[in-house]
């Protein structure tokens, strides 16, 4: 009478194949996740700098302030409605805004850094 089933070698071979496949899948998932996080961070930084630029443009138009090396907290951008509340985790971050008057028509160029 023969016993039905797998031998120890067959089971070990199956486990080795599964381990290799899971390693490949997990490394791909990790790389994709890392890449998406970087894309989201880049997008959030762009949104914050765009909001800071709009804020300074409004401030220059409304108050005629000199905006050379101005620091703006992200919290201020949120409270003034330039950013949504989803950026609250960045509220203590500063945006350094350096703007220079390009011509006599009050056209400014901006350099922003987080």
List the domain boundaries for the chain.
11-113
Sheet with 94-101, side-by-side order of all strands: 70-73, 94-101, 108-113
pLDDT at 108: 63
**At residue 24, does pLDDT exceed 80?**
yes
Give the C-alpha distances (Å, rounded to integers) separating 65 from 37, 80, 86. 37, 17, 29
pLDDT at 79: 86
Closest CA to 72 of 44, 52, 98: 52
**For the segment 36-93, what is each residue's pLDDT rounded down to a tens digit?**
988 988 888 888 888 888 887 787 766 666 666 677 778 888 888 888 888 777 777 7
pLDDT at 28: 92
Whether the predicted model's global pTM rises above the 0.75 cut: no
How many angstroms separate the CA atoms of 91 and 44, rounded? Answer: 13
**At residue 113, does pLDDT exceed 70?**
no
Closest CA to 52 of 90, 89, 102: 90
């Amino acid at each position: 009478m023969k016993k039905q089933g797998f031998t120890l070698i067959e089971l070990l071979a199956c486990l080795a194949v599964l381990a290799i496949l899971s390693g490949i899948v997990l490394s791909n998932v990790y790389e994709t996740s890392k890449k998406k996080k970087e894309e989201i961070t880049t997008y959030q930084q762009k949104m914050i700098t765009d909001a800071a630029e709009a804020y300074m443009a409004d401030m220059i138009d409304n108050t005629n302030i000199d905006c050379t090396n101005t620091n703006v907290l992200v919290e201020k951008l949120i409270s003034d409605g330039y950013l949504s509340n989803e950026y609250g985790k960045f509220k203590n971050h500063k945006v350094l805004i350096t703007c220079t008057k390009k011509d006599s028509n009050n056209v400014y160029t901006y350099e922003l850094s987080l």
